Amino acid sequence: MKQSVKLIAGNWKMNGLGASLDEVASLRRSLEEQPAACRVALCPPATLVERMAAAVKGSVIEVGGQDCRAETHGAFTGGVSAGMLKDAGATLVIVGHSERRQEFGESDRLVAAKAEAAVGAGLAPIVCVGETLEQREAGRAVEVVRDQVMNSLPRAVLAGDFAVAYEPVWAIGTGLTPTLDQIEEVHRAVRAAMIERLGLGSAAAPILYGGSVKPDNARDILAVPEVGGALVGGASLKASDFLPIIRAA
Ligand code: PEP
């Protein structure tokens, strides 16, 4: 992913039925009337990946998964592989979202294996990292995020497109955001860790900020040095919220 072009990616989480594709049609129309200055992606639930990919075909909007298994196939009831997402029309996949790290106990090692599987299937992984409130209050935010970057990024990502998303756990879905200085501090630390881990070949991969990005704070956040885009949850569900975030990039 070219660093100069920001990536605005929406994460619908476990929201969205077929009727929600009306929002995507509306977003598509707006972006056809006035093209975006950034890359735009939406990550719907797995049930909608194929239909959304059909709905955005021929437009600039990319479609991604929200998670994938590290394995390519097998006896993993309920699992979705990276290859299945690709087959359904996805070009990206989020891995290591904090909701999965917390609820399903996903380790850095597993996240790295998922990122590797994504690359193997031809998807661009968006690898999520971020500290809890307790870790931030203990003054450990930079250290925790650095460790996650060092251990969640396989060398395989260098073969293609990838991004890292810094999402402080306490900012997700809460309406709280770090200060712009705090965002800059962590993003600089993420970049340094990426270069230490993967070399200068990783310098062009964008580092997205995620956590309560809204139309009214997007412009300031996206102007912070080393912020290469945003991963947006709640505000990506409605075109009327997501569009101003895209326009801010
Ligand atoms: C997310 O879940 O990745 C996220 C950033 O959510 P929200 O924008 O709703 O805080």
Query: Does residue 172 have its Cβ closer than 6 Å to ligand 1?
Result: yes
Question: 132: which residues sit within 8 A by CB, 6+ positions away?
Answer: 144, 169, 170
Query: Does residue 212 have its Cβ closer than 6 Å to ligand 1?
Result: yes
Is beta strand 229-232 parallel, antiparallel or unpaired with respect to 207-210?
parallel
Q: Which residues are catalytic?
A: 97, 167
* Domains of the chain, earliest start first: 10-236 (3.20.20.70)
Between the CA of residue 170 and those of 20, 107, 141, 212, what are the distances in Å?
Answer: 28, 19, 11, 10
Region 156-162 average pLDDT = 95
- The pTM of this model reads 0.97
Distance, CA of 210 to CA of 168 (rounded, Å): 7
pLDDT (tens digit per residue) in 120-151: 999 999 999 999 999 999 999 999 999 999 99
Q: Which residues pair with 18 in a beta bridge?
A: none
Query: Does residue 167 have its Cβ closer than 6 Å to ligand 1?
Result: yes
Q: Which among 185, 208, 205 is positioned nearest to 195, based on CA atoms?
A: 205
Task: Give the pLDDT of residue 4.
Answer: 75
Distance, CA of 70 to CA of 79 (rounded, Å): 10
Distance, CA of 135 to CA of 47 (rounded, Å): 35
Q: Where are the alpha helices (DSSP H) in the chain?
A: 21-33, 46-56, 82-88, 98-103, 108-121, 133-137, 141-152, 180-198, 218-222, 239-247
Q: Which residues pair with 229 in a beta bridge?
A: 7
Backbone dihedral angles phi then psi of residue 129, each to the nearest 5 degrees: -140, 160
Query: Does residue 211 have its Cβ closer than 6 Å to ligand 1?
Result: yes
Count Cβ atoms below 10 Å from residue 176 Cβ, excluding itself. Answer: 12
pLDDT (tens digit per residue) in 91-122: 999 999 999 999 999 999 999 999 999 999 99
Task: Give the pLDDT of residue 43.
Answer: 98
Task: Give the pLDDT of residue 100.
Answer: 97
Which residue has the least CA distance to atom 8 on ligand 1?
Answer: 233
pLDDT (tens digit per residue) in 27-79: 999 999 999 999 999 999 999 999 999 999 999 999 999 999 999 999 999 99
Q: Which atom of ligand 1 is nearest to the CA of 232?
A: 8
Pocket test for ligand 1, best of 7, 8, 12, 13 (most atoms within 8 A of CB): 13
Backbone dihedral angles phi then psi of residue 114, each to the nearest 5 degrees: -65, -40
- CA angle in degrees (0–180, nearest 5) for 63-66-46: 70
CA of 224 to the centre of ligand 1 (A): 18
| Helices and strands counted in the chain (H then E) | 10, 8
CA of 98 to the centre of ligand 1 (A): 10
Task: Give the pLDDT of residue 2.
Answer: 43
Q: Can you say whether residue 173 is alpha, beta or left, with left for phi > 0 and alpha for psi between -120 and 50 degrees?
A: left
Query: Does residue 221 have its Cβ closer than 6 Å to ligand 1?
Result: no
Q: Are 125 and 93 in contact (CB under 8 A)?
A: yes
